[in-house]
Amino acid sequence: MSGSVRVVPPELHTAIASRLRAVGQRYTTNRRTLVDVLLGAGQPLGIPEILGAGERLAQSSVYRNLAVLEQAGAVHRIVTGDFARYELAEDLTDDHHHHLVCSVCGDVSDFTAPAALETSLTKVMAKVADETGFAPDRHRLDLLGTCTRCA
């Protein structure tokens, strides 16, 4: 839906392979397939959608491989409603963004926030770290509401 620019796949695969190696994991065919499916979607996908992508993947392997990919920092797991959704880690796609979560159908789509807001957020993270001792890695900003279809 967003048609945004993304990193060229070759580079992407290399980057992922390297992250996997860093946690002692291989970049297998199934894992590459998963990455391709997620890349092609341009939107966070749930397991049913991934399985339905016509790629002959075993459900258990999908779960297992997504866990491995997440641990390697290659994908992010988004839990919002009844089940989890997955998307490529944004630092891999050079596409930092946030989520529009529909409270009605549970659908999740992406949107990009103004740079100024991101800057403020970064400052807030530093401030919080300083004041509370909590060590923030990243932030997550979601807008909850009603999507066009469910309006």
Partner DNA sequence: CTCAGTGCAAAGGATTTGCATGCCG
Partner DNA sequence: CGGCATGCAAATCCTTTGCACTGAG
Residues at the contact surface with DNA, assessed by CB under 7 A: 25-26, 28-31, 46-47, 56-61, 63-65, 67-68, 79, 82-84
Partner in contact with 41, chosen from DNA, a second copy, none, beta carbon below 5 to 8 Å by kind: none
3 state DSSP class of 111: strand
> Can you tell me which of 30, 80, 97, 106 binds a second copy, judged by CB under 8 A?
80
Cα–Cα distance measured from residue 3 to residue 42, given in angstroms and rounded to the nearest whole number: 8
CA distance 46 to 19: 23
Tell me whether residue 64 or residue 138 sits nearer to DNA (CB atom): 64
Long-range contact set of residues 10-17: C-beta below 8 Å, sequence gap at least 24: 12/39, 12/88, 12/92, 12/93, 15/92, 16/69, 16/72, 16/74, 16/92
Query: What's the closest the beta carbon of residue 34 comes to DNA, in angstroms?
Result: 9
The Cα–Cα gap between 115 and 120 comes to 9
Write each residue from 12 to 31 as x if it is in contact with a second copy (CB under 8 A), else as -, in one continuous string.
Answer: --------------------
84 DSSP 8-state letter: E
Q: How many residues bind a second copy (CB under 8 A)?
A: 37
CB-nearer residue toward a second copy: 60 or 82: 82
Per CB under 8 A, residues contacting a second copy are 79-81, 100, 102-103, 109, 111, 113-114, 116-117, 120-121, 124-125, 127-129, 132-148, 151
